[in-house]
């Protein structure tokens, strides 16, 4: 019985703290990564689609992030085909100073008369990246695109260029 | 529920406060927002218009990176839209007037237009009139094409734009 009350109190406290900055307010910095990505997968047994998109990762901890992403069809036969959604992921240090990125995307997609059914997407991916400057790194990734209530189910590949930056926010506590 | 609470708390506790070095490294850059009404002059069902938003991040005072998004609002092409990025160049010719050149590439389609795979290219040029240093009107003309489809059209657009300066902390200051 106590647990739900404590949980509710914590949530109320959180929103109170974040909604009303006090006199101690200052700025804090959070890492974010802006990405442009090109990806490809099979939309049916005989048809592939290529999309480009952009995403913004916002770090919750040093290595864990949440993000938003949108993609639009570029090549293939499905102009108007779009995907949009959110994902969570984890950056890890890989061998030879590489970056390993494990994430799960979920969202909605469809258009262009594709066989997307209801359009609900689950798309886990595993990426490997390499720094090319202090700000920039490139990644390549493989994944599996699954439309839960549609007929698209395929391995996916992608390549992206990523830019580190800071997100400045008002400090709450 | 506990995981959710920990995640919420982590967003409060893990952020790094700005150091004095960070504060001395803060910089500003020019940004601009555009609200655009664009008319396509040639479609197989007559005129079609899109309503859009563009956000410019300037590298310097006159050159910028553009993000653009538009959707159909008039004509027989409901559902059509595009999202694009590009580069822009302004050339001041008078304290209140500037030439405007912009190139975009992106993804578009829908509304039954033959946009092929969706790959879109657009270029336009025009004139900006600054009503105030932070607000301007613009009129542009140019062309839009879908290289992997058959759709292409000349177009005109009008818009209103708002200029501001954004504070940011360069990532390089981390090293």
Over the stretch A10-62, which tens digit does the pLDDT of each residue have?
A: 777 766 665 554 433 477 889 999 999 999 999 999 999 999 999 999 999 98
A22/B contact by beta carbon, under 8 A:
no
Which of left, alpha, beta for B160 (phi over 0: left; psi -120 to 50: alpha)? beta
Among A3-7, A24-28, A92-96, B77-81, the minimum mean pLDDT is found in A24-28
pLDDT (mean) for A143-152: 93
B131/A contact by beta carbon, under 8 A:
no
Q: Which chain B residues touch A164 with a CB distance below 8 Å?
A: 171, 174
pLDDT tier, B3 (very low <50, low <70, confident <90, very high otherwise): low
Give the Cα separation of A161 and A44 in Å (integer): 28
Residue-wise pLDDT tens digits, A96-133: 899 999 999 999 998 888 888 889 999 999 999 999 99
pTM of the model: 0.80
Between residues 13 and 52 of chain B, which touch chain A (CB distance below 8 Å)? 13-18, 22
Q: Name the closest residue on chain A to residue B23, using Cα atoms.
A: A27
A29/B contact by beta carbon, under 8 A:
yes
Find, among A89, A111, A108, the residue nearest to A149 by Cα.
A108
Structure confidence at residue A168 (pLDDT):
86
Min Cα separation A36/chain B (Å)? 10
Q: Is A112 helix (H, G, I), strand (E, B) or coil?
A: coil
pLDDT tier, B48 (very low <50, low <70, confident <90, very high otherwise): confident
Structure confidence at residue A24 (pLDDT):
37
Q: How far does Cα B112 stand from its chain's mean position?
A: 24
Find, among B163, B107, B102, the residue nearest to B130 by Cα.
B163
Q: Hey, CA dihedral for A56, A60, A65, A68, is it positive or negative?
A: negative
Assess: ipTM above 0.95.
no
Q: Which chain B residues touch A22 with a CB distance below 8 Å?
A: none
Strands B97-109, A99-110: pairing kind: unpaired
Binary contact (A135, B11; C-beta < 8 A): no
Give the Cα separation of B75 and B18 in Å (integer): 51
Q: Name the closest residue on chain B to residue A79, using Cα atoms.
A: B118
Give the Cα separation of A93 and A80 in Å (integer): 37
Give the Cα separation of B55 and A166 in Å (integer): 19
A113/B contact by beta carbon, under 8 A:
no
């Amino acid at each position: 019985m106590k647990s739900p009350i404590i949980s509710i109190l914590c949530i109320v406290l959180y929103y109170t703290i974040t909604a009303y900055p006090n006199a101690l307010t200052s700025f804090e910095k959070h890492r974010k990564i802006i990405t442009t990505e090109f990806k490809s997968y099979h939309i049916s047994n005989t048809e592939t689609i290529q999309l480009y998109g952009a995403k913004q990762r916002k770090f919750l901890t040093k290595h864990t992030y949440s993000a938003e992403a949108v993609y639009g069809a570029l090549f293939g036969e499905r102009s108007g085909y779009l995907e949009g959604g959110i994902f969570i992921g984890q950056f890890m240090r890989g061998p030879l100073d590489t970056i390993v990125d494990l994430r799960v995307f979920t969202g909605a997609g469809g258009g262009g008369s594709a066989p997307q059914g209801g359009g609900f997407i689950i798309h886990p991916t595993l990426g490997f990246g390499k720094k090319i400057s202090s700000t920039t790194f490139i990644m390549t990734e493989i994944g599996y695109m699954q439309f839960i209530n549609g007929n698209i189910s395929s391995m996916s590949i992608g390549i992206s260029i990523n830019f580190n930056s800071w997100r400045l926010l008002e400090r709450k506590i | 529920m506990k995981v959710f609470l920990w995640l919420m708390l982590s967003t409060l506790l893990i952020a790094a406060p700005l150091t004095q070095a960070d504060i001395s490294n803060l910089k500003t850059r020019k940004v601009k927002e555009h609200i655009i009404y664009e008319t396509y002059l040639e479609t197989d069902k007559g005129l079609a218009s899109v309503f859009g938003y563009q956000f410019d991040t300037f590298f310097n005072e006159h050159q910028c990176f553009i993000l653009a998004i538009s959707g159909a609002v008039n004509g027989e092409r409901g559902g059509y839209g595009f999202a694009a990025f590009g580069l822009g160049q302004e050339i001041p010719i008078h304290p209140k007037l500037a030439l405007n050149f912009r190139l975009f590439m992106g993804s578009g389609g829908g509304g039954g237009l033959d946009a092929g795979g969706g790959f879109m290219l657009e270029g336009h040029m025009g004139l900006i009139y600054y009503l105030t240093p932070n607000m301007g009107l613009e009129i542009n003309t140019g062309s839009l094409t879908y290289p992997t489809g058959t759709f292409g059209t000349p177009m005109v657009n009008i818009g209103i734009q708002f200029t501001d300066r954004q504070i940011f902390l360069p990532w390089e200051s981390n090293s």
